[in-house]
Structure 1
């Protein structure tokens, strides 16, 4: 494949020379700098790391040294904190105060060009999902204790919500945080499961039940819980079918003492904080899955151009072209929707974005999983036996197809999100129409 003529479906339209209303010179400059960095430090090694099931620790430090963990945070970035820590730009390409969600989308898209979610997830998930609640809801005192080391990569954090019996049903969390007799500590007991990056994390932004067992979502809070070598905490890695290098972890907490001052925000508002955090998580997952779908489909397209069967190349077979076309239409539709989302995130105030886009973000994440499934399955079928083998020509297709469920289940399982999306859309509609109904007669037109 030449740099001037990319394989069909291998790049988003704006990187194929087609006009786009979204990307400014700042975005284009960032894309080039980001790709150059990743092609030097990350992409050539990602498949080997996935085979070895671990990304070397020095890679995280390389990313931290070059401020390449910061792009995982929600936009706008915490500029005041970053500048206080001497972080003024990312790779010399974008000033931190100019960063927006389209820059974020470019970063996630470029990180996913390996086609694998595990190697990138091993570096990014903690910063992307574990640190933002501290930035958004933590007190100045709490931020001053934890953010300097977390933002510079000296320490690592994870998000710890899911439990063996509480996945998408967040309100059913049973890990308890009971205040000690002197009122100075929470005593945390319970288990967390499928916690990405947990095994390497110094701290967890953890959902705990501070209310009664039957208090439901109103009884949830968020705590910064120490993990590594902390009394009462034991951790072990889990091995999922895909994304192995991301460090999926089981955490057991047995009377773990956590200072009351480690409470994030207000006790009892944990459910609200978690839901707001999910919006960023689901959007970033949708962006990454869309690029994975590109990698799978374009790999199959390239294979079909050269592979011969029945006396001609696969691409000359109408049934093959039909399969590529169906998957390609799904992919490009999803890609356009993701770009639209990123643009809306840039131009809507954060509070309005949370309200108006929350349900749609859930829907986008669910749809991205379906599109990834379509493109990965298409690739495996067109690679044939090579796509059913863990090594060789079709290895990338086999690997991506193995990771599909890692997109369709974590971050809110598909069926739950499809239902959530419609419920939130209905709620927004009813809220809006109630306001209309309350207007005095003779008011503004509908």
Structure 2
């Protein structure tokens, strides 16, 4: 059999290799087939070329919007009421919008990352995945009615704008200000946002701003118009990986934003941002784990054929050792991701935020470390070819450049590791206190 008929080891998660799994039902399996067919046709076959050209053609976003393949990057459960009001009752594969769960979401994220590159898929999904949810979760009805119809149908584009030149993972230190005008009808926004994915194409942004004093209690979120709006200047940034995702530097100079564009309540921005991060980090973890598969399976296939010292590289014990070490980390991470998304289908949003908030940060951080191991394994086994930007080793070279794009955005790795433990300690103390309180009543 050829490799086209028999998957290279590590190329697919176990359930797609026909092994039993308790997590996937018939709806999930139909969904996976529909995702693979659509994404293969409209994204994967051109992903590498678009990454070389550093942009994805504008019509591709339209194809994904028309095919209802942007909606699945939203957090589960989907905004069923809004989707049905827009005439969207069913997704490809016959998946009803009300049955879409976090396992469907993980399948989608896994399939979108099958090129190994996060730029082409990120150019389509980042705005919808992270910019729209704050409006859905926390916006009042009037705000939703103004923006959701066009955003959910892909007629307009948005992004999430949190990070600043001096405030990345340190969200509480955001400096962009939003001060009410004398007439009280506008927020006047001044500041800069940096490393904003999709910003250059976005009509709007769900933006973190400082409406009050220092610290987290002074933060709010606004829907800020971007493209072509007075006082807004945007330019593309050259970055190491995710090149085609439209990473943007945004300058805001006395930008007048109607007070009606406030998302939720003033001063609650930090809470909204942190809640939004959970979805972002899990989405990153799913995609990064698939990227690790791409890197490791490419290396596996290469060393089966490449000869040195009179034998294939696979016949060298040190090569097998590298593959085994990386493969064990990869499959362990995927098993964790699968159990994680299953837990998300069984917990309420409030329960998941408490029980899984810290672990979300941890699985995101671990996904970056696993990707690093698999990408490093690939580039070393490809040798000189893996150090070359063209030819048979191009995928390894590009995968290695993708690693920092997982370890830094969405909360840098060291911050995530610390956050995870602090959250676990907090939960432990709260549960211990509750048990002691119960015991005192007996």
Q: TM-score, normalized by length of structure 1?
A: 0.98
Q: Following TM superposition, by how much is the alpha carbon of 1:39 offset from its aligned partner in structure 2, in angstroms?
A: 1.4
Alignment partners' CA distance in 2, 1:388 and 1:66: 38
The alignment yields a C-alpha RMSD, in angstroms, of 0.8
Corresponding residue number in structure 2 for 1:202: 203
Alignment partners' CA distance in 2, 1:92 and 1:309: 47
Corresponding residue number in structure 1 for 2:158: 157
Corresponding residue number in structure 2 for 1:19: 20
**Contact kept in structure 1, 2:207 and 2:223, CA below 8 Å:** yes
Corresponding residue number in structure 1 for 2:127: 126
Matched residue SS, 1:439: helix
Corresponding residue number in structure 2 for 1:228: 227
> Residue by residue, what CA displacement relative to the aligned partner does 1:145-165 show, whole Å, maximum 9, x if unpaired?
000000000000000000000
Alignment partners' CA distance in 1, 2:99 and 2:67: 18
Alignment partners' CA distance in 2, 1:45 and 1:4: 22
Task: List alignment gaps of at least 5 residues for structure 1.
Answer: none
Matched residue SS, 1:178: strand
Corresponding residue number in structure 2 for 1:166: 167
Alignment partners' CA distance in 1, 2:308 and 2:93: 50
Q: Following TM superposition, by how much is the alpha carbon of 1:273 offset from its aligned partner in structure 2, in angstroms?
A: 0.2
Q: Does 1:322 align with 2:287?
A: no
> Residue by residue, what CA displacement relative to the aligned partner does 1:272-307 show, whole Å, maximum 9, x if unpaired?
000000000000000000000000000000001111
Corresponding residue number in structure 2 for 1:425: 424
Q: Following TM superposition, by how much is the alpha carbon of 1:405 offset from its aligned partner in structure 2, in angstroms?
A: 0.4
Alignment partners' CA distance in 1, 2:227 and 2:378: 41
Matched residue SS, 2:189: strand
Alignment partners' CA distance in 2, 1:252 and 1:442: 58
Aligned residue runs from structure 1 range 43-442, under 5 A: 43-212=44-213, 215-441=214-440
Q: Following TM superposition, by how much is the alpha carbon of 1:180 offset from its aligned partner in structure 2, in angstroms?
A: 0.4
Could you say if the C-alpha distance between residues 297 and 209 of structure 1 is closer, same or farther in structure 2, counting changes exceeding 3 Å?
A: same
Alignment partners' CA distance in 1, 2:298 and 2:363: 24
**Contact kept in structure 1, 2:33 and 2:93, CA below 8 Å:** no
Q: TM-score, normalized by length of structure 2?
A: 0.99
Corresponding residue number in structure 2 for 1:39: 40
Q: Following TM superposition, by how much is the alpha carbon of 1:441 offset from its aligned partner in structure 2, in angstroms?
A: 3.7
Matched residue SS, 1:258: strand
Could you say if the C-alpha distance between residues 439 and 72 of structure 1 is closer, same or farther in structure 2, counting changes exceeding 3 Å?
A: same
Q: Following TM superposition, by how much is the alpha carbon of 1:440 offset from its aligned partner in structure 2, in angstroms?
A: 4.5
Q: Following TM superposition, by how much is the alpha carbon of 1:98 offset from its aligned partner in structure 2, in angstroms?
A: 0.6
Matched residue SS, 2:69: coil
Matched residue SS, 1:113: coil
Alignment partners' CA distance in 2, 1:267 and 1:437: 37
Q: Following TM superposition, by how much is the alpha carbon of 1:93 offset from its aligned partner in structure 2, in angstroms?
A: 2.5
**Contact kept in structure 1, 2:289 and 2:371, CA below 8 Å:** yes
Matched residue SS, 1:59: helix
Q: Following TM superposition, by how much is the alpha carbon of 1:38 offset from its aligned partner in structure 2, in angstroms?
A: 1.1
**Contact kept in structure 1, 2:65 and 2:153, CA below 8 Å:** yes
Alignment partners' CA distance in 1, 2:193 and 2:128: 19
> Residue by residue, what CA displacement relative to the aligned partner does 1:11-70 show, whole Å, maximum 9, x if unpaired?
000001110010001101100111011111111000000000010000000000011000
Alignment partners' CA distance in 2, 1:369 and 1:393: 24
Matched residue SS, 2:391: coil
Matched residue SS, 1:189: strand
Task: List alignment gaps of at least 5 residues for structure 2.
Answer: none
Q: Following TM superposition, by how much is the alpha carbon of 1:229 offset from its aligned partner in structure 2, in angstroms?
A: 0.7
Alignment partners' CA distance in 2, 1:323 and 1:400: 17
Matched residue SS, 1:183: coil
**Contact kept in structure 1, 2:224 and 2:261, CA below 8 Å:** yes
Could you say if the C-alpha distance between residues 305 and 436 of structure 1 is closer, same or farther in structure 2, counting changes exceeding 3 Å?
A: same
Matched residue SS, 1:114: coil
Aligned pair count reads 441
Matched residue SS, 1:192: strand
Corresponding residue number in structure 1 for 2:8: 7
Q: Following TM superposition, by how much is the alpha carbon of 1:123 offset from its aligned partner in structure 2, in angstroms?
A: 0.2
Alignment partners' CA distance in 2, 1:45 and 1:365: 27
Alignment partners' CA distance in 1, 2:346 and 2:226: 38
Alignment partners' CA distance in 2, 1:4 and 1:335: 23
